[in-house]
Amino acid sequence: MDNPKLFEYIAQLNAAKSYEEIHTVCVDFCNFFGFDFFIYAARIPTSLITPHYIIINGYPDEWRNHYIEQDYITIDPTVSHCFTSTTPIYWEQILKTTCKQDGKIDQLFAEAGYIGLQNGISFPIHCIHGETAMFSLAINSLPEKSRGHIQHTLAFGHLFASYVHEAITRVPDNGIIARINANLTDREKECLLWTTEGKTSWEVSQILNISERTVVFHINNAVKKLNVTNKQHAVARAISLGQITPKI
């Protein structure tokens, strides 16, 4: 995968300091590799019920507005795939299978094709803090004409997508990403982890060989850092953000 232009784009992403700069790099990448449109979308688990979304949009505005009005996110198979899988998905796969089985999805892709998003590929991105993202490249060309081009770009797109997300997390004014990186101490994580097992503060103190008062101190600190209201809420937030994970 020796492409000097790709590594030039990666260097630009590494130096980006705003969403606008990231958007510019994505536009250039899209044009250089022969695609017409792109979109980056990330779901940030600030809440299990109402997560925050970050969008870097390179789709036509009329399509984005229509997509939102029709609430297509709830049926879009590229979204459900990227939020539950780790492998890229070719839109042609969806056109050949899911669209034939579901009229609503068929309508979604027919309308997208009319706007110019006739074929494409979507890359899932799963990260250590619990955020899930996707990066899609679209082309205004029928699948039979663009299939080879999309397959040729697979490796480049997958690598680029990862760097786009990394750039998003480094944007200085990205308060949302900062909120999910709570920087819990090892002891705070331990106390929360044993709490997930149903242990009381006293039981946790016996397991960790510290006082019950110290356990309560660490849990209260975690509650403050995670910006929640109680111990149970802290556990749920810490799990959703990937702050506490099962022991290996």
CATH architecture under which domain 4-177 falls:
2-Layer Sandwich (3.30)
Unique residue bearing structure tokens 């796969």: 93
Of 93-107, 201-215, 226-240, which range is least confident?
226-240
What residue ranges of the chain are covered by domains with CATH 1.10.10.10? 183-240
Judge contact between 212 and 181, C-beta under 8 A: no
**From CA 197, how far away is CA 228, in angstroms rounded?**
20
Judge contact between 17 and 8, C-beta under 8 A: no
**From CA 46, how far away is CA 237, in angstroms rounded?**
7
Q: What digits encode the pLDDT tens for the residues 165-189?
A: 999 888 865 555 555 556 789 999 9
- Average pLDDT of the residues in 132-148: 94
Q: What digits encode the pLDDT tens for the residues 92-132?
A: 999 888 877 888 999 999 999 999 999 999 999 987 667 78
Q: What digits encode the pLDDT tens for the residues 161-170?
A: 999 999 988 8
- What CATH number does domain 183-240 carry, 1.10.287.110, 2.30.130.10, 1.10.10.10, 1.20.210.10? 1.10.10.10
> Tokens representing 57?
């949009």
Unique residue bearing structure tokens 């994580």: 189
Judge contact between 58 and 22, C-beta under 8 A: no
Q: What digits encode the pLDDT tens for the residues 59-79?
A: 999 999 999 999 999 999 999
What residue ranges of the chain are covered by domains with CATH 3.30.450.80? 4-177
Judge contact between 98 and 133, C-beta under 8 A: no
Q: How far is CA 201 from CA 18, 38, 164, 205, 233, in A?
A: 43, 49, 42, 6, 16
The model's pTM is 0.75
